[in-house]
Amino acid sequence: ALAAADQAAVRALWRKLNNNVGVYTTEALERTFLAFPSTKTYFAHLDLSPGSAQVKAHGQKVADALTLAVDHLDDLPRALSALSDLHAHKLQVNPANFKVSKCGGGWALSPGGEEFTRKDVGGQMDHGGDDSIPPQLLGHCLLVTLARHYPGDFSPALHASLVKFLSHVVLALASSYR
């Protein structure tokens, strides 16, 4: 599970974000679509132009899911299991978008779940594929967004806690694929 210090840091930030989680998640979605355009293919039925009300509505849903996660840091897989099923079976989002360790090389949570590091593949680093891209596209854009709006809070330590938190969220979301 997420270490106690990371949990505390994430909860403290979330208290600060207050009712604005949706605003930042929406900005993160807009950034994701611009920086990683392949993600747009899943949302072809939505208006993805900047300022779109549909992106805003989706941003609020994702924000609510993240807030649910913050409220259940001790039991993310259970809290997010319905959402994981939805992504795996109904939405059929390619798990490459989540990039858990199952997908080969790249980055993964340590067995204890407290660290997020590059996986050692067969005694040597795996440089194949698109591992240079941040493993969680939306999560990466959320980090950028929060760093921009909360520069004073965004210490390296908070950054690290958020990376781990998002890794746990993504791991829980990907659990229905295994």
Q: Give the footprint of ligand ZNH on this chain (CB under 6 A).
A: 39, 42-43, 58, 61-62, 65-66, 83, 86-87, 91, 93, 97, 137-139, 169-170, 173
CA distance 69 to 52: 26
| Residue 96 and residue 103 in contact, taking contact as beta carbons nearer than 8 Å | yes
Q: How far is the CB of 50 from ligand ZNH (least distance, A)?
A: 18
Query: In this structure, what token pair is assigned to residue 53?
Result: 């009300």
CB 124 → ligand ZNH: shortest distance, Å? 29
CB of 22 or CB of 139, closer to ligand ZNH: 139
CA distance 142 to 89: 25
CB 115 within 8 A of CB 163: no
The answer to whether 138 and 32 are in contact (CB under 8 A) is yes
Of 17 and 66, nearer to ligand ZNH (C-beta) is 66
Closer residue to ligand ZNH in complex, CB, 33/105: 33
The nearest distance, CB 153 to ligand ZNH, in angstroms, is: 20
Min separation Cβ 109 and ligand ZNH, Å = 14
* CB of residue 143 to ligand ZNH, shortest distance in Å: 11
Between 7 and 87, name the residue whose CB sits nearer to ligand ZNH: 87
**Quick one: 108 exposed, middle or buried, by C-beta within 10 A (0-12, 13-18, 19+)?**
buried
Distance between CA atoms of residues 123 and 161, nearest Å = 28
10 versus 170: smaller Cβ distance to ligand ZNH: 170
Q: How far is CA 1 from CA 50, 110, 116, 143, in A?
A: 36, 10, 12, 20
